[in-house]
Amino acid sequence: MTIADLIAELGPHAGRGAVVEAVEALRRRSLVERPQTIRAAAFTLQSVVLEYVTDRLVEEVCDEIARGQALRLVEQPLIKAQAKDYVRQTQERLIGAPVLRQLKAEHGDDGAEQMLLALLESWRNRPHAEQGYGPGN
């Protein structure tokens, strides 16, 4: 991923200087690296960091769903519908499936289904501008 890609993903509120500074701080701490085989401006997360961040995201999303206040689902797409097939399938496997699995483990199949349906219904009652990525997630 390049800095420009990251800024595009974060949206217009992310300042270029702050993003560059954050990536450089992560690089100094060896949490991101610049692979030799990819463009010099590109960077990747260390595998262990990516796994940790993904696990935290899944936990936070499940907690928000259980509380009926899924703000992260409104603000961020967990699975990008417009992404290439292999990217979307990876996102489904690493994020979507674990969220569903954790919800079912903690609340049972029926409980998980009811929570998700209630959340979807709450988004339907909001103006389109306030729904964000919620219904798509």
* Interatomic CA distance for residues 132 and 116, integer angstroms: 16
DSSP per residue over 82-107, as a string?
A: TS-HHHHHHHIIIIIHHHHHHHHHHH
Task: Enumerate residues 6+ apart whose C-beta is below 8 A from 100.
Answer: 112
* Interatomic CA distance for residues 89 and 75, integer angstroms: 21
Q: What is the pTM of this model?
A: 0.80
pLDDT at 30: 87
Q: Sketch the domain layout of the chain as residue ranges.
A: 3-45, 47-131
- DSSP bridge partners of 44: 33
Local confidence pLDDT in tens for the 137 residues of the chain: 888 888 888 877 788 899 889 988 988 888 888 776 655 568 888 889 999 999 999 999 999 999 988 888 998 889 988 889 999 999 999 999 999 999 999 999 999 999 999 999 999 888 988 888 998 88
Do the Cβ atoms of 20 and 32 come closer than 8 Å?
no
